Amino acid sequence: MRLIIRNTPEHAAQYIADYIVHRITTFSPTPTRPLFTLGLPTGSTPLPIYRALITAYNTNKISFRHVITFNMDEYVGLPRSHPQSYYTFMHTNFFNHIDINPSNIRILNGTAADLPAECASFEAQITAAGGIELFLGGVGTDGHIAFNEPGSSLSSRTRLKSLTSETIRANARFFNGDVRQVPRMALTVGVQTIMDSREVVILATGGAKAVAVKEGVEGGVSHLCTLSCLQLHPRGVVVVDEDATAELRVRTVKYFTDVERTILQGDVGGEMIPTTPIHRPKLNTTVSSTPQDGELTPDSMSSRIESPKGLIARSATIPFELDIPTSTPTPTPTV
């Protein structure tokens, strides 16, 4: 896992948008994978990314004609014409403003007569498309990705899920603040569906996401924080703004900041190019030889910071392809 820190939500979103543009424009189609497969989220967090991608399209930096999208989730019981359905959300905020082929837009149908069959079909469509190349996602305040709420199986696939009261309360802002209007169930891709993607990029911004970021980055892998599964992904990235780092250890922030600095200063290829200023907290760069209580040990962190040679050798842990310049009756939900 890599942690990318930017000063503001706008800088974090622009960083991701620039990378998506690069990945799509440099994608090499093959007979088995003729289209770039992109997993997409909904909610307020990715809106700046969508705006930046629309701007890139309007300035002729990218075309989406050879992109197929798979959305993470959809509410159960809301017709697609409902203003708060994710089908409407995606078309209003993104699809209606770009040149994507409508037949390449894949969104779960929350009003399907057979919801388990709808979920199975969605998984089959992902497989038929050659798998997802890059899955973009957000994270909930309790650390969930997509609608994989705490307690979700880490081997789960697309399925029906009950929403927690915390998620319902958080989403009430989209339903005039009335929690009674928020659907209690949703269809969602599973944790394993996301993990099968070749790349996963998660955006987390704001102080409300700080605890989730801490548990996902510094905590152990757990079904109680499904964001933490990215620790096991070979190309998993969490992009945050400064506020979202509020609960992280200082040494954790320093480590990931130093890794990015090393990549930029050294001849290390295969990483993402930052397009906005790197967040560089003013930290004490002296590393104590004795680990403090509750801090990461020298073996896991400070040894990489103290030895420039070791840091360079071990910093490029994820082989990104981007070169770096040196300067119905309600069914029973599953876990």
Reported as a single tens digit per residue, the pLDDT across 136-165 is 999 999 999 999 999 999 999 999 999 989
CA distance from start to end of the chain: 25
The pLDDT-based confidence of 331 (bands split at 50, 70, 90) is low
Report the pLDDT value the prediction gives residue 301, as an integer from 0 to 100: 33
Sheet order of strands, 134-137 included:
2-6, 236-241, 199-204, 134-137, 36-40, 67-71, 105-106
Q: According to the model, what pLDDT value does residue 32 have?
A: 73
Q: Which DSSP letter does residue 1 get?
A: -
Dmax (CA) for the chain in angstroms is 63
Q: What crossing angle do the helices spanning 9-25 and 47-58 adopt, rounded to 10°?
A: 50
Residues annotated catalytic, as ranges = 73, 142, 144, 149
Mean pLDDT within 107-134: 97
Residue 182's closest CA among 79, 76, 111?
76
Quick: pLDDT tens for 279-289: 444 434 343 44
| Highest mean pLDDT out of 20-34, 168-182, 295-309 | 168-182
Query: Counting beta carbons within 10 angstroms of the beta carbon of residue 323, is it exposed (0 to 12), middle (13 to 18) or buried (19 or more)?
Result: exposed
Whether domain 2-248 has CATH 3.40.50.1360: yes
Which of 110, 51, 56 has the alpha carbon at shortest distance from 84? 110
Confidence of residue 34 (pLDDT cuts 50, 70, 90): confident
Average pLDDT over residues 220-237: 97
Q: Report the C-alpha gap between 96 and 267 in whole angstroms.
A: 41
pLDDT score of 309:
36
Task: Kindly state the average pLDDT of the residues 71-99.
Answer: 97
What are the tens digits of pLDDT across the range 92-114? 999 999 999 999 999 999 999 99
> What percentage of the chain reaches a pLDDT higher than 90?
74
Domain ranges of the chain: 2-248, 250-327
